[in-house]
Structure 1
Amino acid sequence: MEAQLKNIKIEKSKTTKINEVDFDNLAFGSVYSDHMLVCDYKNGAWETPEIMPYQPITLDPAAKIFHYGQSIFEGMKAYKDSSGATWLFRPKNNHKRLNISARRLAIPEIPEEIFMEGLTTLLRLEKDWIPSNPGSSLYIRPFILASGNGFHASPADEYKFIICCAPSGAYFSGKVKVLIEEKYSRSANGGVGYAKAGGNYAGQFYPTQLAVKKGYNQVIWTDDNTHEYIEEAGAMNIFIRINDTLITGPTSDRILDGITRKSILEIAEDEGIQTEVRKITVTEVVRAAKSGALKEMFGAGTAAVVSPISTFGHKGVDYDLPELQDNFASLLKKRITDIQYNRAEDKFGWRYKV
């Protein structure tokens, strides 16, 4: 039996923005629902969460989020099935990972009952904001920031846990062209690469802008030491298919333990697809591309689910991937999304009814 919160305070919005939203043309994460959840950490404890109308938050200029970057987040989605029921996908994994990030950034961990009951209470209130269009969902952004004040370089004494929601369409449209990074690094051994820390993503923007100027959509990140090992694709985990084997790198200090990543590995095994979790070198990928053994590359993450890569660039040369009819990316994406939208059996126990 899960612990239950008492007396979540709910202040309903007097108006709604929902009638102003074009649900047939939703950009990703740019329209926000009517309510949000806020829970403060003060005097050494998390207080009772409150649900209130979506609104700006007020912080002192000395709040430590502005100076020392204590900020972590998660990405989740709520799905509506054909009968109108609401589902989450492996939400307790998101709670667990948020706390892994919290520990690494010296942020107090959020109790499961606050995360889960606060989330489900918010989603029941916002159920009309969950799109029913194919491929659409309600993107959910839980995050924690340091709200306590002080210029001293130390952890804050106060924090805010917030959940906001954004009805969203598909994250990417079409395949992407990527550049294998040879200079900049996303993360390093002993660092915070495995945490969903805001600063990780801030550090990605500049190298990605440089790649975009060269005609690419995203960067393939390599290891910080030799730039010889493939690690992540933009803000996603990466999968590489050589012949009929699906390969992804092992999680580490540098690589995020993606929930979509681990789901793909389990579904691939269920489909009889041979998988390998191991280090893979840029040299191996280039050699496979030249020989024709490289069949697919795709990113995997909550927002896009699976994002196929059409071309990768390395040392001034572009390598196009073949367009396969029976590709792993489409199969795996369909298996995952059929579970998420309650269109298929969930033999893994991943679906969570709100």
Structure 2
Amino acid sequence: MTNNTIEVLLTSERKEKPEDSTLQFGKVFTDHMFVMEYTTEKGWHDAKIQPYQPISLDPSCMVFHYGQTVFEGLKAYRTKEDKIVLFRPEKNFERLNLSNERLCIPHFDVEQALEGLKKLVEIDKDWVPHSKGTSLYIRPFIIATEPFLGVHASESYKFIIIMSPVGAYYKGGINPVKIAVENEYVRAVKGGTGTAKTGGNYSASLKAQETANASGCSQVLWLDGVEKKYIEEVGAMNVFFKINGEVVTPMLNGSILHGVTRASVIELLKHWNIPVSERRVSIAEIFEAYDNGQLDEAWGTGTAAVISPIGSLVWEGRTININDNEIGELSQKIYDTITGIQTCELEDPFNWVQEVKINSSVEAK
């Protein structure tokens, strides 16, 4: 942004809001969205909040042809005191700028983007659901908009934030999932786009996910793209293992996403004085730990689920069941603590939560 002014254009027709019990992920969207433009002449400019609506783009826009796009995902929560809070939103915007760096998209000002986000949440505050486990999912994204067929960084972009009320991720309790270790396809390699949250990473994962689903598995455990020995991520989440009392997670090596929930889990474990290390972890080590009776728990971490416990792993024709296919004690504690902090039901010793200040009335500027 070039200045702090955010124009507000309120909709004249409010949508009907769904009941909390009917909410699905990413199906319904709020009344408004944040939009900001970039050109090489003006930089980031024309920040505004406007009614949620389709966007019109030239068919030759570079995003369609060369995939120059990045995105983020975070949530707003309603507390028992009817306050609305965000969980570490600055980290998501900082990571969005890291993705921008890799995709040759101009950086934006994090503080000013946070101002726009909070204003958007304030305006659509009634869309933050009330029921336990529900939240307002927030999707910031940037797309290249220059109408040109040629491979170079675009000279114009749109930064958009849309929001969607979502139901409880675990409606019937947290059930560990079955994971297939992927030996053929790879997610990313060092020097590629694995550290960026960009659309191409996710479309490239669909084939392996489809194969895993066909074999009765819920997700894919990705191995490194060079030796196909070392664990990187599980599905679209970071992954942790508790081995003989110590928690280990793959180190950030240039092909693994810098997860906000991942960082939060590591800080929490250190706060509890639980040994945790970031290092290379081979799939063979995990199976060996299981054979030795030392593999206590395994779980994925991400914004949508917070914690997704791994009940079983399938690799080279062999299946192992972790912790009797039940959620582990530590996994449950991490989940309860982070979700408790997110909704202000538990103390926040890390200052992770930011309250969205709500005015009694919001008027268009």
TM above 0.5, yes or no, is yes
CA distance in 2, matches of 1:159, 1:135: 35
Q: Which residue of 1 aligns with 2:268?
A: 267
Does the CA-based 8 Å contact 1:245-1:273 persist in structure 2? yes
CA distance in 2, matches of 1:5, 1:304: 36
CA distance in 1, matches of 2:313, 2:53: 42
Does the CA-based 8 Å contact 2:35-2:161 persist in structure 1? yes
Q: Which residue of 2 aligns with 1:303?
A: 304
CA RMSD of aligned residues (A): 1.5
CA distance in 2, matches of 1:6, 1:142: 18
Residue-by-residue CA offset, 1:138-186 (whole Å, 9 max, x unaligned): 0000000001110011111110000000101233562211001111110
TM-score, length of structure 1 as denominator length = 0.96
Q: Which residue of 2 aligns with 1:29?
A: 26
Residue-by-residue CA offset, 1:105-137 (whole Å, 9 max, x unaligned): 000111123311110000000111111211111
SS state at 1:18 partner: coil
Match of 2:15 among 14, 17, 37: 17
Q: Which residue of 1 aligns with 2:145?
A: 147
Q: Which amino acid aligns with 1:278?
A: R
Q: Which residue of 1 aligns with 2:363?
A: none
Moved more, 78-87 or 326-335: 326-335
Q: Which residue of 2 aligns with 1:254?
A: 255
CA distance in 1, matches of 2:268, 2:226: 33
SS state at 1:141 partner: strand
| Matched ranges for 1:122-133 at <5 A | 122-133=120-131
Residue-by-residue CA offset, 1:14-40 (whole Å, 9 max, x unaligned): 222233x12113111111111101101
CA shift in 2, pair 1:82/1:4, >3 Å: farther
Q: Which residue of 2 aligns with 1:334?
A: 336
| Structure 1 portions without partners, runs of 5+ | none
SS state at 2:323 partner: coil
- Kindly state the Cα deviation for residue 192 of structure 1 after the two structures are TM-superposed: 0.8
CA distance in 1, matches of 2:140, 2:276: 32
SS state at 2:81 partner: coil
Does the CA-based 8 Å contact 2:35-2:160 persist in structure 1? yes
| Matched ranges for 1:229-240 at <5 A | 229-240=230-241
Q: Which amino acid aligns with 1:24?
A: S
Match of 2:49 among 48, 51, 56: 51
CA shift in 2, pair 1:115/1:325, >3 Å: closer
Does the CA-based 8 Å contact 1:5-1:113 persist in structure 2? no
Q: Which amino acid aligns with 2:95?
A: R
Q: Which residue of 2 aligns with 1:348?
A: 350
CA distance in 1, matches of 2:321, 2:80: 38
CA distance in 2, matches of 1:9, 1:66: 28
- Please say if 1:103 is aligned against 2:101: yes
Does the CA-based 8 Å contact 2:222-2:234 persist in structure 1? yes
- Please say if 1:206 is aligned against 2:204: no
- Kindly state the Cα deviation for residue 337 of structure 1 after the two structures are TM-superposed: 1.0
Residue-by-residue CA offset, 1:291-318 (whole Å, 9 max, x unaligned): 2211111100111100011111000111
Q: Which amino acid aligns with 2:346?
A: A
| Structure 2 portions without partners, runs of 5+ | 357-365
Q: Which amino acid aligns with 1:38?
A: V
SS state at 2:76 partner: strand
Residue-by-residue CA offset, 1:32-72 (whole Å, 9 max, x unaligned): 11110110112241113111111111100000000110000
- Kindly state the Cα deviation for residue 326 of structure 1 after the two structures are TM-superposed: 5.8
SS state at 1:273 partner: coil
- Kindly state the Cα deviation for residue 241 of structure 1 after the two structures are TM-superposed: 0.9
Does the CA-based 8 Å contact 1:18-1:129 persist in structure 2? no
CA shift in 2, pair 1:206/1:308, >3 Å: same
Q: Stretches of 4+ moved more than 6 A in 1? A: none
CA shift in 2, pair 1:255/1:325, >3 Å: closer
CA distance in 1, matches of 2:16, 2:166: 13
CA shift in 2, pair 1:18/1:252, >3 Å: farther
CA distance in 2, matches of 1:175, 1:168: 21
CA distance in 1, matches of 2:203, 2:169: 19
TM-score, length of structure 2 as denominator length = 0.93
CA distance in 1, matches of 2:221, 2:232: 7
SS state at 1:346 partner: coil
CA distance in 2, matches of 1:270, 1:232: 24
State the percentage of identical aligned residues. 39
SS state at 1:139 partner: strand
- Please say if 1:113 is aligned against 2:111: yes
CA distance in 1, matches of 2:77, 2:201: 28
